[in-house]
A and B are shown apart, each in its own frame.
Chain A
Amino acid sequence: MLERNCREVKVREVRFLGTWDEPSDFVELTLENPGWDSYRPGQFAMLRAKRWGLELPWGRPFSISRVDAESLTFFIQVVGRGTTRLSRLTAGEDVIIWGPLGNGFSAPADTPTLLLAGGMGIAPFRGYIEKHPTPKALHLLFAHRPALDFYPYLAMSEKVGAEAIQEHSSDDLPGIIARIEAAMEEYSGGLVLACGPTPFLRTVQAHALKKNIRAEVSLEKTMACGVGACLGCVCKDGQGKHVQVCARGPVFAAADVQL
Chain B
Amino acid sequence: MIDLRVEFAGLVLKNPIITASGTFGFGLEFSSFGDLKRLGGIVVKGLSLKPREGNPMPRVAETPCGMLNAIGIQNPGVEAFLRDKLPLLPWRETAIIANMYACTVPEFGELADVLSGEEGVAALEVNVSCPNVSQGGSAFGQDPAQIRKVTEEVKKKAKGKPVIVKLSPNVTDIASCAQAAQDGGADAVSLINTLLGMAVDISTRRPTLANVVGGLSGPAIKPVALRCVHQVCRKVSIPVVGIGGIVSAEDALEFILLGAAAVQVGTANFLRPDQSFRIVDDLPRAMIKARSDSLAELRGSLKLP
Contacts and interface: CB of A to CB of B under 8 A. Distances in A.
Nearest to B53: A242
Interface core residue of A58, A96, A229, A247 (most chain B CB under 10 Å): A229
B29 A54 contact: no
A194 B32 CA distance: 30
A57 B65 contact: yes
A224 B45 CA distance: 16
Nearest to B64: A55
B218 interface: yes
B25 A229 contact: yes
A234 B29 contact: no
A158 B171 CA distance: 63
Contact of B23 (A96, A222, A229): A229
Nearest to A9: B32
B14 interface: no
A227 B268 CA distance: 14
B219 interface: yes
Contacts of A231: 22, 45, 54, 59, 71, 74
A105 B61 CA distance: 28
A11 interface: yes
Contacts of B269: 225, 229
Nearest to B248: A54
B273 A224 contact: no
A34 interface: no
Interface in A87-108: 96, 98
A222 B29 CA distance: 18
Nearest to B19: A229
B273 A11 contact: yes
Interface in A214-236: 222, 224-235
A59 B29 CA distance: 16
Interface in B216-258: 218-219, 247
Contacts of B61: 222
B58 interface: yes
Given A57-B267, A225-B270, 9 more contacts: A54-B218, A54-B247, A57-B66, A58-B270, A81-B62, A232-B71, A233-B60, A234-B57, A242-B54
21 contacts: A11-B33, A48-B272, A54-B271, A57-B270, A96-B272, A98-B272, A98-B273, A224-B62, A226-B273, A227-B25, A229-B45, A229-B269, A230-B23, A230-B60, A230-B69, A231-B45, A231-B54, A231-B59, A234-B57, A242-B54, A242-B74
